[in-house]
C-alpha cells in the first residue's frame, strides 16, 4: 500500500496570501488529521476529519480550515498568512480514528511565510 | 498547555549503548504512543501502550508506563547509528472521541558510530 502523500513538499508564500495543502491518506483509511510543527510550539493538533465531517478541532484561529472529500483525501487552507504560520504541516491517517489506532504520517509540507 | 514534556531534550551515545528517554504527561489517558522523526520529516509510529498496561516490548524497544506518576519511558537497546532521530511521546485522552495526539516536546538522540 502506498503511504500518506502530502503535496507540495515545500511552499514559499508572502504575508497576507492564502495557501492550500493537500493530503492523500492510505487507501482504506477514513480518518485524516492535521498537525503543525514549529520549533517554538512543537507538534500541535489542528483538526481531524472523518467521512467528510470535522470531528475534532485544535486551538487555532479561524484562518485555519480544512475539508475532506468523499474519497477521504483532505485539504487544509490557511488564509491571510502570518510570519508565525511558517511551519512543517503534517497530515496523518488512520482507519477509523478510534482511540487505540496508531497514526500514519506523511512527509509533511514545509511552509515558509516571508 | 496540555503538552507533555520529555527529558532529556538531547542525548548523545555511542553505538551499542542503550538509550533511555522519559516522558511526563498531564491528563488521564487511553493510551500512550512513541513516534520517531528523522530530520524534520514525517513521524513513524514505534509502539503503543494502553493505560492498563505497564510494560511493552517491540524488537529493541521497551516502553514502560506508570499512570500513577503520569510518566513513561522508552528504552532503545544496542543502539545503532540509524537510530539517530527525534523521539516523541504522544498521549490520547481517555475522554476524547478520536485518536487526537497530544505530543511531548521530544528528545533528540544522536548515536555516534
Mean pLDDT of A5-18: 98
**What pLDDT is stored for residue A67 in this prediction?**
97
pLDDT confidence tier of residue B13, bands split at 50, 70 and 90: very high
Q: Which residues of A touch B105 (CB under 8 A)?
A: 42
Q: Say which of B33, B50, B101 has its CB closest to residue A45.
A: B101
Q: Is B88 helix (H, G, I), strand (E, B) or coil?
A: strand
Whether A110 and chain B come into contact, CB under 8 Å, resolves to: yes
CB-CB contact of B72 with B49 (8 Å): yes
Do A100 and B31 lie within an 8 Å CB cutoff?
Answer: yes
pLDDT tens digits for A32-44? 999 999 999 999 9
pLDDT tens digits for B34-67? 999 998 789 999 999 999 999 999 999 999 999 9
Whether B52 and chain A come into contact, CB under 8 Å, resolves to: no
The beta strand positions in B67-106, using DSSP E, are 71-76, 85-93, 102-103
Q: Which of B78, B77, B75 is nearest to B107 (CA)?
A: B75
Whole-angstrom Cα distance, residue A32 to residue A54? 10
Amino acid at each position: 500500500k502506498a503511504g500518506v502523500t502530502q503535496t507540495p513538499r515545500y511552499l514559499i508564500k508572502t504575508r497576507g496570501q492564502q495557501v492550500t495543502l493537500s493530503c492523500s491518506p492510505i487507501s482504506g483509511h477514513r480518518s485524516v488529521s492535521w498537525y503543525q510543527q514549529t520549533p517554538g510550539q512543537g507538534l500541535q493538533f489542528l483538526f481531524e476529519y472523518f467521512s467528510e465531517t470535522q470531528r475534532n478541532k485544535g486551538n487555532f484561529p479561524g484562518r485555519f480550515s480544512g475539508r475532506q472529500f468523499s474519497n477521504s483525501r483532505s485539504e487544509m487552507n490557511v488564509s491571510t498568512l502570518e510570519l508565525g504560520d511558517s511551519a512543517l504541516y503534517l497530515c496523518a491517517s488512520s482507519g477509523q480514528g478510534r482511540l487505540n489506532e496508531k497514526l500514519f504520517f506523511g512527509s509533511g509540507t514545509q511552509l515558509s511565510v516571508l | 498547555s496540555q503538552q507533555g514534556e520529555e527529558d532529556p531534550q538531547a542525548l548523545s551515545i555511542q553505538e551499542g549503548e542503550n538509550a533511555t528517554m522519559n516522558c511526563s504527561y498531564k491528563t488521564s489517558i487511553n493510551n500512550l504512543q512513541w513516534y520517531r522523526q528523522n530530520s524534520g520529516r514525517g513521524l513513524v509510529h514505534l509502539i503503543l501502550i494502553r493505560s492498563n498496561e505497564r510494560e511493552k516490548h517491540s524488537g529493541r524497544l521497551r516502553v514502560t508506563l506508570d499512570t500513577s506518576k503520569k510518566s513513561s519511558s522508552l528504552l532503545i537497546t544496542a543502539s545503532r547509528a540509524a537510530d539517530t532521530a527525534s523521539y516523541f511521546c504522544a498521549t490520547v485522552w481517555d475522554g476524547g472521541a478520536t485518536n487526537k495526539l497530544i505530543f511531548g516536546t521530544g528528545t533528540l538522540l544522536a548515536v555516534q558510530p
